[in-house]
Structure 1
Amino acid sequence: MSKTNEAVLVTGASGQLGQLAIEWLLKHHQGPIIVTSRDPQKLSALTERGVIVRQADFDQPETLPEAFAGAKRLLLISTDALSVPGQRVQQHLNAVDAAVQAGVEHLVYTSLPSPEPGTACLLAGDHYATEEKIKSSGLSYTILRNNLYTHSLIPALQQAAASGQYAAATGDGATAYVTREDCAHAAAAALIAAVSESQTLDVSGPEALTGKDIAAIASEFTGRAIEFVPLTTEQLVGIYETAGLPNGAAQVFASFQTASSKGEYGQVTTTVKDFTGQAPVGLKAVLATNKSAFARAE
C-alpha cells in the first residue's frame, strides 16, 4: 500500500495505543509527525526525536484547532473519559469539529465492532455517536473497529491455570481477539496510507475463539486440564462486584462478554495485514510471550 509524506497527527499520544502508533510512525513515516496530549511534558523525549509535541485538552474545544493546525491526516484515539456520562462522546465531537476547522483532510478513528443501536455493549453508544459525527463532517475517514484486546484474557487465564476452570459469560459466541500492538500498527499505517476514500473496517486477530476454544488453548499451553464454565451476565456482574467494582462498572465490563455471546465480536478480517503487511498475532503467541505471568500463578 502506497504511503503519503503529508503531516500526520496522533491524539492521546501518552496512552498505550498512542505510544505504539507513534513508534511505528517513527520507523515508517517520512513526513512531519505531530502528537497531542493533555500533559505534553510526558512526551518530552519525543521532541528530541523530531516529533512536534502539542498540548490539547478535548474539554477545551476552543484550543483544539490550533493544536491540530498543519496536520492533513489525524488519528483520533478514543479517550478514556468514562466516569462522567456523556463526557467522552462530547470530547470526540469537539475533536472532529476542530479537525474540520484546522483543515484536516482525512480522519482515522479507533472504534468498536458492532456499535450500532441494539448492541449489548453499554459503552458502544459513544463510538456510534462519534462515527455518525465523522460521517457527517465532510472529512474522508477510516473508521477502525478494534476488537477486544487479546491481553485482556491473561488475568482470567492465570486464574484458570490455578483452578482448572475458565469462566466467562460469552456462551457459544466467538470473539476475534486482537493485540493492542496490531491495532496500533494498523491505525498508524492507515494514517499514512495514500488513500482518501472513506471506509469502516473491523480490526481483528487471526481467529475467532469461543470460551471452549480459549480453554482448550490454555490447557495446551499450561499442560493442565482447563474446562470452560459458562456464566450468565448476572453471575459475572456479581463476581465483579465481589472483586470490588461498583455495580455500574460491573455492568459495563460484563456487557462486553454479553455482546460476545451474541456474536457481535466474531468477525475475522484481514485489516491488520492489509495495512501493515504483517499477519496479526494470535492467542497462542500472546501466551508464549507471557510465560512469566503463568509461572507466578503456579
Structure 2
Amino acid sequence: MSQPLLVTGAGGQLGRRVVDLLLAQGAGPLIATTRHPERLGELRARGVEVRRADFDSPASLAEAFAGAARMLLISTDALDRPGRRIAQHRSAVDAAVKAGVRHVVYTSLTNPGPGSPITIAPDHRGTEDALAESGLGATVLRNNLYADLLVASLRRALATGQLVAAAGDGRTGYVTREDCARAAAAALAADFNGKRVLDITGPAAVSHGEIARIASDLSGKPIAYVPVPREALEQGMQKAGMPAEVAALLASFDEGIARGTLDVATNAVEELTGKPAEDVRSFLARHRGALLTPIER
C-alpha cells in the first residue's frame, strides 16, 4: 500500500506545484494543508484530502498531520516579527512527532550556518536543528535563490541600462522554482528514511556580471552591472518606498552573495529527479517576453 504524503503550504506557489507533480505521478494518497482550505476545492475534487493547518496554533497541528507517513514542511512566510517563523517550524516538527509522521522533507536555505549574513538564515538553521533533535527521518533541501526572481530585477535593468546590486563579484547557484518543486516532490515520494542534507541548485553558479551579459544577449540592449555597497542598496530601496525590513532582507541576500555564501552548485536535482536542473541562460531565454515587457510607470 502507498504511504500517505502530506504537503504543508499547499496554497502557495511551491506547495501547489508539488501537489500537482505528485498527482501526475500517481503518488499518494495525498494530504494538503493550508490556512485557507476553501481556496483548494479544485485539489479536493482531484482526490486530495485538504485540511486546515494554522502554524500559529500548535495544538491544532498534530490533528492536521495525522495519518501522514511523510511530510513536506515548506518554510512559512511569517517574517513580520522576529521569532515567529522559527516558533511555527518548531511547532510543526513537534506535531509531526506526535502525529506519527516518520520522515520530514524541509525547504531550507543554502549555507544557513552562523556565518551567514542573510537575515532569515537563523530560522532555517534552527529548524534544521529541531529536525536533527526530533528523532524523525529528515531530508533537508537547501534551496538556493530562485532564478525566477531575476525576471523583475532584469526588467528594471533593461529599463535603466544598469543592474545595480551589492553582490560584488560573488556567484549564486540560482535554481528555478520548478526545479525546487520537482526536487521536493521526488524527495517526499522517495523511500529514503534516514537523514540527509541536499543542496538544491542550478547546474552552475553565476555572477551578476554574467547575468547582465546574458540579459544583454537576449534583449539586444546594453546592460552594465553596477556594484554598490550594501548600505547604499538598502537606502535606495527604502527611498523607493520599500519597507525597511524588506530592504534589509534583500540587501542581506546580496551581502551573502558577495561573501560566497550562495556560491554552491550541485547535481542534486538530477540525482533526485533524473532530469538536470535548468541553467540561468535557458530560464531567462524562456522568459524573454516577460523580460522585455515595459515597466508601468
**TM-score (structure 2 length as normaliser):** 0.96
Partners of 1:208 and 1:30 in 2: how far apart? 33
Secondary structure of the structure 1 residue equivalent to 2:172: coil
Per-residue CA deviations over 1:179-205 (Å, capped at 9, x if unaligned) read: 111101101110011111210111001
Partners of 2:113 and 2:275 in 1: how far apart? 29
Q: Does 1:231 align with 2:224?
A: no
Partners of 1:153 and 1:31 in 2: how far apart? 34
Q: Point out where structure 2 has 5 or more consecutive residues left out of the alignment.
A: none
Aligned to 2:98: 101
Aligned to 2:118: 121
- Contact 1:189–1:275 (8 Å) recurs in 2: yes
Aligned to 1:17: 14
- Contact 1:5–1:192 (8 Å) recurs in 2: no
Aligned to 1:34: 31
1:68-83 paired onto structure 2 within 5 Å: 68-83=65-80
- Contact 2:218–2:288 (8 Å) recurs in 1: no
Q: CA deviation at 1:167?
A: 1.3
Partners of 1:22 and 1:259 in 2: how far apart? 31
Per-residue CA deviations over 1:123-165 (Å, capped at 9, x if unaligned) read: 1110100100000000010000000010111112112222222
Partners of 2:198 and 2:289 in 1: how far apart? 34
Q: Does 1:194 align with 2:191?
A: yes
Q: CA deviation at 1:118?
A: 1.9
1:139-178 paired onto structure 2 within 5 Å: 139-178=136-175
Q: Does 1:216 align with 2:200?
A: no
Q: CA deviation at 1:265?
A: 0.6
What's the % identity of the aligned pairs? Answer: 48
1:43-58 paired onto structure 2 within 5 Å: 43-58=40-55
My pick for the range that moved more, 240-249 or 215-224, is 240-249
Q: CA RMSD in A?
A: 1.3
My pick for the range that moved more, 217-226 or 145-154, is 217-226
Q: Does 1:295 align with 2:273?
A: no
Task: Choose which of 178, 181, 187 in structure 1 pairs with 2:178.
Answer: 181
Matched residue type, 2:233:
L
- Contact 2:173–2:262 (8 Å) recurs in 1: yes
- Contact 1:29–1:192 (8 Å) recurs in 2: no
Task: Choose which of 121, 129, 132 in structure 2 pairs with 1:135.
Answer: 132
Secondary structure of the structure 1 residue equivalent to 2:116: coil
Aligned to 2:82: 85
Task: Choose which of 44, 57, 61 in structure 1 pairs with 2:58.
Answer: 61
Q: Point out where structure 1 has 5 or more consecutive residues left out of the alignment.
A: none
**TM-score (structure 1 length as normaliser):** 0.96
Q: CA deviation at 1:248?
A: 2.6
Partners of 2:274 and 2:46 in 1: how far apart? 25
Aligned residues: 295
Task: Choose which of 240, 250, 255 in structure 2 pairs with 1:253.
Answer: 250
- Contact 1:5–1:29 (8 Å) recurs in 2: no
